[in-house]
Amino acid sequence: MRCRLGLKECPKNDAGILRCFPKIEQPFGMVIFGASGDLTKRKLVPALNRLFEAEILPERFFVLGAARTRMGDEEFRSRFNTQPDLLKRFSYTRVDYQNPDTFKSLKRVVDDLMKRFGVRNLIFYLSVPPDVYVPIIENLSKAGLNTETSRIVIEKPFGKDLKSARELEQVLQRSFGEHQIFRIDHYLGKETVQNILVFRFANFIFEEIWNNKFVDHVQITIAEGIGVEHRAGYFENTGLLRDIFQNHMLQILALITMEPPSSFNGESFRSERVKLLRSIRPFPVEDLENWIVRGQYGRGTVNGRVVPAYREEPGVSKNSSVETFVAMKLFIDNWRWSGVPFYLRAGKRLPKKVTEVAVVFKRIPHSIFPNVPSKDLEPNTIIFTIQPNEAISLEFQVKRPCPGMTPQLLSMDFRYEDYFGVKLPDAYERLLLDVILGDTTLFMRRDDLEVSWELLDPVLKAWESDPVRFEPHIYPSGTWGPKEADLLIERDGRRWR
Ligand code: NDP
Ligand code: BG6
């Protein structure tokens, strides 16, 4: 099939895949708050660089870094390893997020740049810790920078709980319209996450079996080998439930289970996603331990390297009870999924980095093969490997080529690398492009947040109200979490893949 540019195949090189986007005409300016930080250096500027190299960005655009650190334009530019032609468009200004006066100076700098580059559309990217979102938004308004043609990008976590998320939303809605607000969950920018939608809604054969009549259960794993790294300050205030489940995990779950929207673009997709999230059964707080397991990494070995316990990491309290691992079981109370358990787990310092969804089908009802009871025949499973080694696999039984009738489980794999032969674009490349184009489809809507916090808030409250009962189980680094996580699924006669 030809793509919208009339191509039959994707160009077989890294820049080529991005060149498939037509060049943007509309000039823009991007103001990055917290531009001295990690996200700007590791994700935002490299993504802009790739879009620039692929000649997608318009002729006229600028990037203004804004943060508290004192530095000049040259020092700011020297932080990035990018195209010199791109760096010419970078400048830096100092701003105190809490001080309205510095936003008046910011406005003067911005006005000047807008004139110089002939730009009307401004994007404000909040690449700062969430504590300073509110003062920045309020000060942008006071300085009159929240014009009709401006957009604002907010990074997760969106608040700390339902109350703070609502407060943040009120402040946001006072200053910007919903179409101007881009709440980023970078998992929605991953090609393999979006491909869940194509797999489900561009193929007819799977829809008939995508329900409780055929599916036994679903597992989602978001595992990382890394620990808290240099983010102790953030993580000590956040924990893994907020860091991964409130956003990435629930979004993947929604894409796997939502009803078909009438169209991808616009509100239909986002509405179906939220409808699904609303159908998740609330967790019973009385016996929460049987539904959600909390863990924290102890010392151990990951990839042959001995690593410290979480409590020994710099910046972490010696008796911290913040979780670095969560496993949970949940149900979706609707016609399609009633009775199907979903087992979700995510954690740091697990044996390897892998994000995977496994849709495990029911076992055959009766075996016709001598000496092969149906319980010994592994069920069919469809596995979406979101990262790394991006792939989709179907596990099914085949006859071993020998006398007799001996089934054997095999995997039929589609690997992106084999077929497309390109490095997949980073999620931020796609999402920044959508922000520049003003397309909110792949961003979270206000009600996404409301629903996810409504689900997780009682859990967080229960944990806080009884820290002894909910003390995280310590697991050795380099293992798949505490044994309680295994019990969670084994109690139901199943096991983690
Ligand atoms: P950083 O900790 O690097 O902070 C960014 C900048 O914010 C710093 O350079 C600093 O700039 C300023 N800052 C830091 N702490 C404070 C504080 N307590 N009060 C006021 N300003 C402060 O954060 P990241 O760049 O890692 O992340 C930015 C945002 O993106 C966060 O909301 C984070 O949750 C989110 N995010 C980050 C990811 C990542 O991979 N890094 C991934 C996904 C989301 P200065 O002192 O110069 O003002
Ligand atoms: C971020 C979390 O949102 O996602 C990090 O804050 C986590 O803790 C990261 O490491 C994982 O993202 P990815 O794209 O590397 O899977």
Query: Would you kindly state where each structural domain of the chain is located, as residue ranges?
Result: 12-155, 191-424+445-491
CATH of 12-155 among 3.30.70.260, 2.40.50.140, 3.40.50.720, 3.40.50.2300:
3.40.50.720
What integer pLDDT is reported at residue 100 of this predicted model? 95
CATH number, span 191-424+445-491: 3.30.360.10
What integer pLDDT is reported at residue 312 of this predicted model? 98
What integer pLDDT is reported at residue 6 of this predicted model? 65
Distance 362 CA to ligand 1 centre (A): 45
Q: What is the spatial order of strands in the sheet that 150-155 belongs to?
A: 90-94, 61-67, 28-33, 121-126, 150-155, 181-184
What integer pLDDT is reported at residue 418 of this predicted model? 87
- Kindly state if the Cβ of 185 falls inside 6 Å of ligand 2: no
Distance 301 CA to ligand 2 centre (A): 21
Report the nearest atom of ligand 2 relative to the CA of 243: 6
User: CB atoms < 10 A from the CB of 355, how many?
Assistant: 23
Query: In this predicted complex, what is the ipTM?
Result: 0.97
Bridge partners, residue 125, by sequence = 32, 153
Note whether 136 and 33 are within 8 A (CB): yes
Fold match between domain 12-155 and domain 191-424+445-491: no
Amino acid at position 113, single letter? L
What integer pLDDT is reported at residue 200 of this predicted model? 97
* C-alpha closest to that of 31 among 51, 58, 61, 69: 61
Note whether 188 and 435 are within 8 A (CB): no
Radius of gyration of the chain (CA): 24
Report the alpha-carbon distance of residue 250 to residue 452 in Å, rounded.
8
Q: Sign of torsion, CA 195 197 200 202? A: negative
* C-alpha closest to that of 191 among 267, 282, 255: 255
- Ligand nearest to the Cα of 243, by number: 2
Q: What is the DSSP letter of 175?
A: H
Distance 103 CA to ligand 2 centre (A): 31
What integer pLDDT is reported at residue 149 of this predicted model? 92
What integer pLDDT is reported at residue 432 of this predicted model? 96
Q: Tell me the pLDDT of the chain (497 aa) as tens digits.
A: 666 556 667 666 555 556 677 789 999 999 999 999 999 999 999 999 999 998 899 999 999 999 999 999 999 999 999 989 999 999 999 999 999 999 999 999 999 999 999 999 999 999 998 889 999 999 999 999 999 999 999 998 888 999 999 999 999 999 999 999 999 999 999 999 999 999 999 999 999 999 999 999 999 999 999 999 989 988 999 999 999 999 999 999 999 999 999 998 778 999 999 999 999 999 999 999 999 999 999 999 999 999 999 999 999 999 999 999 999 999 999 999 999 999 999 999 999 999 999 999 999 999 999 889 988 999 999 999 999 999 999 999 999 998 889 999 999 999 988 888 777 889 999 999 999 999 999 999 999 999 999 999 999 999 999 999 999 999 999 999 999 999 999 999 999 99
- Kindly state if the Cβ of 224 falls inside 6 Å of ligand 2: yes
Would you state the structure tokens that stand for residue 437, as one six-digit string? 């184009």
What residues are in contact with ligand 1 under a 6 Å CB criterion? 34, 36-39, 67-69, 97, 127-130, 132, 155-156, 234
Note whether 346 and 244 are within 8 A (CB): yes
Q: Sign of torsion, CA 277 133 233 39? A: positive
- Kindly state if the Cβ of 243 falls inside 6 Å of ligand 2: yes
- Three-class secondary structure of residue 397 per DSSP: strand
Q: What angle do CA 172, 174, 178 make, to 5 degrees?
A: 60
